[in-house]
Structure formats: structure tokens, C-alpha cells
């Protein structure tokens, strides 16, 4: 059995499950508080705290795991990075009180106290810059530390910046950019490496499909050159005859989801009809 460590709760857990489900590895939990679940086939999920996943995987208790890049770096364990899963994006930033007068990381003075749930990364960041700060490790809610007089500065995760702002803090530097990653144990045997490569392809095909749409349209033959410019597709659009279609042919193509609105308008403008757009479940170029 291939064991994959997944976050049991918190921000990443939902999206991880959704991704695995979409990849055909349906998370079949046996009850609310189950510690493990079958993912179908040879994969089994073990649910642990996101923070503990780097340790679990590095120690070989799981062959691979999904957790935040911030947590992987904080753990400082040797792991193989297999892929960026592109969700759970956030940044680990240095923040100071609005009224502190500090506007960049250079403004942090020697001897200042820095509260963080990421003491290792915080220490490393300031040491590398030649700044001697006192790191105050906390296990949560670092943003309130300056208000309690526990620290002058915080190093905390942010995605929109609204929590920092709400707490009267200003972002003054970036320690690390993070997102959810699939990581693997360095001691996996070749069979496990092979299985994980298949997993990586399955997850990758779902991620690739999310940003794309499948588009079909009936196109007047004379408009084909213009249509080719509008939808280059994966390998150029597929053009097929329509039975009794007269001047019309059918065009199928994979197009970026982001620009679908513009694409449809451009197709209509050159006389396309019967335009149909659908989601793609998996895409393996």
C-alpha cells in the first residue's frame, strides 16, 4: 500500500480532497474522525496535522504527503519536491505595527523581538541579512503579539493581507512564497517512485484541465483562417465535416478558460454558430 499523508483539517484539507477526488482517487473516509481512508487502488490516505506532514514523510511513515511549502521549509527536513499543486497560495511576511515607522525589513533593529509560528525560517531570514533579532516562538495568532507587548515585529502568513491590516500591522518584507506541494520521502524504493510518478501525472492532469475549456463551434468554411487565429488549441483546432452541413464545418479545440468570453465573441463575429463550451475533467497533453 502506498501511504499519502494529507492534512486532517485546516485551510488545505478541503482542496486537497477535492483534487484527489477529481483525479479519480476518491477519499473514502470511514467516519468523521477516521485517521486513514482508502483512496482506491493501491493508495491509502493518512490524516495528520499539516505541520506534522514533513516529519511523517521524511521519516518514511508515509511515502508522500501534501502540505504547505512554508511548513516543509520550517521543518527543514530533506524531502523530494514532486509538484506545486497551485492552491493554498500565501506568503510568509515580516510585519510591523503601522505606527512603528518601519517600512522595510532593513528597518528592523538589532535586539528587536519577532513573534512567529515559524521560528526557524524567521531566525534564518534575519541571520542571513546580518540582523540580530530575538525570535519569540508562538503556536498561533502571532499578529496579536505586538499589541500585547510580547514582540515588536511578527513573521506571519498572509494571503490577502486583510488580517494583518485588521490588526494594525504593515507588511514590510517577504520571507517565503508558499502554496500546497506534493512531497515525497527520499528513501522511497523504485516501485514507490514509479507509483508516485503516476500519482503526479493524475494530479497534474486535473490541474491542467482546470484552466481550460473544451470548445465546439460550427464554422463557415470561409472563416476557418480567422478561427485558426482565435483558437490555436492544443495542437491546432480539430476540423470535422458535418453531415449535410453545407458551408459549415465543426471545429473542436481546447482553449484557456480565462479568455473564453473574448473567444466566443470573436467566433460569433466571424459567423460561427452552435457554440458549445464544456469543462474538461482531465488533460494529458
Among 62, 71, 96, 169, binds ligand AMP (CB under 6 A): 71
Closest approach, Cβ 118 to ligand AMP, in A, equals: 9
- Residue 115 neighbours by CB under 8 Å, 6+ apart: 136, 137, 138, 142, 145, 146, 150, 151, 153, 154, 155
CB nearer to ligand AMP: give 16 or 135: 16
**Is 93 among the residues that bind ligand AMP (CB under 6 A)?**
no
Minimum CB distance to ligand AMP, residue 116 (Å)? 12
User: Can you name the residues that pair with 170 across neighbouring β-strands?
Assistant: 96
Find the binder of ligand AMP among 12, 64, 83, 199 (CB under 6 A).
Answer: 12
- Tell me phi and psi for residue 60, to 5 degrees: 85, 10
Report, in angstroms and rounded to the nearest whole number, the Rg of the chain calculated over CA atoms.
Answer: 25
Does residue 94 belong to the site contacting ligand AMP (CB under 6 A)? Answer: no
Q: How many residues does the chain have?
A: 285
Q: Which of 259, 251, 261, 254 is nearest to 283 (CA)?
A: 254
Element (H, E) at 23: none
Q: Which residue has the cell 507587548?
A: 149
Residue closer to ligand AMP, measured from CB, 13 or 123: 13
Question: Looking at 88, 146, 204, 237, which residue binds ligand AMP (CB under 6 A)?
Answer: 88
Give the relative orientation of helices 190-210 and 11-22 as an angle to the nearest 10 degrees: 90
**Residue 2 near residue 192 (C-beta atoms within 8 A):** yes
Binding residue for ligand AMP (CB under 6 A) from 178, 188, 218, 263? 178
Q: How far is the CB of 44 from ligand AMP (least distance, A)?
A: 21
Contact indicator for 111, 133 with CB cutoff of 8 Å: yes
Q: Binding segment for ligand AMP among 9-17, 18-26, 222-230, 260-268 (CB under 6 A)?
A: 9-17
159 touches ligand AMP by CB under 6 A? yes
**Cβ atoms within 10 A of the Cβ of 141, count?**
14
Among 65, 68, 173, 237, contact with ligand AMP (rule: CB under 6 A): 68
Residues that bind ligand AMP (CB under 6 A): 7, 10-12, 50, 68, 70-71, 88, 90, 157-159, 178
Amino acid at each position: 500500500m502506498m501511504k499519502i499523508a494529507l492534512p486532517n483539517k485546516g485551510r488545505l484539507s478541503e482542496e486537497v480532497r477535492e483534487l484527489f477526488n477529481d483525479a479519480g482517487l476518491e477519499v473514502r473516509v470511514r467516519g468523521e474522525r477516521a485517521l486513514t481512508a482508502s483512496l482506491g487502488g493501491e493508495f491509502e490516505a493518512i490524516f495528520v496535522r499539516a505541520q506534522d506532514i514533513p516529519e511523517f514523510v521524511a521519516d518514511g511513515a508515509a511515502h508522500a504527503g501534501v502540505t504547505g511549502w512554508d511548513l516543509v521549509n520550517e521543518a527543514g527536513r530533506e524531502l523530494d519536491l514532486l509538484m506545486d499543486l497551485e492552491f493554498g497560495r500565501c506568503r510568509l511576511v515580516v510585519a510591523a505595527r503601522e505606527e512603528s515607522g518601519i517600512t522595510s525589513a532593513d528597518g528592523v533593529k538589532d535586539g528587536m523581538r519577532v513573534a512567529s509560528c515559524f521560528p526557524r525560517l524567521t531566525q534564518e531570514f534575519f541571520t542571513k541579512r546580518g540582523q540580530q533579532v530575538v525570535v519569540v516562538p508562538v503556536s498561533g495568532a502571532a499578529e496579536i503579539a505586538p499589541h500585547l507587548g510580547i514582540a515588536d515585529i511578527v513573521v506571519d502568513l498572509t494571503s490577502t493581507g486583510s488580517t494583518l491590516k485588521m490588526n494594525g500591522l504593515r507588511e514590510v518584507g517577504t520571507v517565503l512564497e508558499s502554496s500546497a506541494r506534493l512531497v515525497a520521502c527520499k528513501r522511497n524504493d523504485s516501485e514507490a517512485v514509479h507509483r508516485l510518478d503516476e500519482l503526479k501525472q493524475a494530479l497534474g492532469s486535473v490541474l491542467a484541465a482546470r484552466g481550460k475549456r473544451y470548445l465546439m463551434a460550427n464554422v463557415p468554411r470561409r472563416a476557418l483562417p480567422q478561427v485558426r487565429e482565435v483558437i490555436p488549441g492544443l495542437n491546432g483546432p480539430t476540423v470535422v465535416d458535418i453531415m449535410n452541413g453545407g458551408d459549415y464545418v465543426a471545429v473542436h479545440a481546447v482553449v484557456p478558460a480565462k479568455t473564453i468570453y473574448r473567444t466566443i465573441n470573436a467566433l460569433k463575429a466571424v459567423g460561427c454558430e452552435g457554440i458549445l463550451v464544456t469543462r474538461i475533467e482531465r488533460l494529458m497533453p
